[in-house]
Amino acid sequence: MQLSALKLLRQTHLYLGVFIAPAILFFAFTGALQTFSLHENAKEGNYKPARWIAILAQIHKKQSAQLASPKLQPPVSSQVDTHHKTEKPANLVAADSPRRSPLPLKVFFLLVSVGLFSSTFSGFYMAYKYSRSKLLLGMVFLAGIVVPIVLTFA
């Protein structure tokens, strides 16, 4: 690869990385919140997420800031009677199958989110610190913040 092509590739990588860095930071943060279901009401009713968490989760999942209206849940029936046949719903787990705790996987994904966030943040810091064109880099970073906001609320 020629030197000029390598320089172009490095510059493209730099500015593209700086442009998408805000989105990566956003998805890492909101993904960490969603890993522990902090964006959802607790089934017992003892936890209600802050509105900003619910809105960020909605943007993360549905690319929209519009919160869905709460759905009314029909009563759960353990058996369905269809022509005198009784069937158990598919979502019931057999009593003899062991239940695995999702906590270890949730902790792993939290660590992934923290790693992605800190890696992206430190990458942007290094790009800014060692760049000759700090103003251009700042403008590209700001564009990476403004463009998704405009597209979300326009």
Q: Residue ranges of the domains in the chain?
A: 3-64+103-153
At 71 the pLDDT is 61
pLDDT in tens, the chain (154 residues): 687 999 999 999 999 999 999 999 999 999 999 998 888 888 887 888 888 998 999 899 888 888 877 665 555 555 555 555 555 555 555 566 678 888 999 999 999 999 999 999 999 999 999 988 999 999 999 999 999 999 998 8
pTM of the entire predicted model: 0.75
At 153 the pLDDT is 87
At 63 the pLDDT is 86
Distance CA 87, CA 81 (A): 7
At 70 the pLDDT is 63
List, in order, residues 6 or more apart from 55 with CB less than 8 Å away: 65, 67
Displacement of CA 136 from its chain's centroid (Å)? 28
Distance CA 67, CA 85 (A): 40
Neighbours of 23 (CB within 10 A): 14
Distance CA 61, CA 59 (A): 6
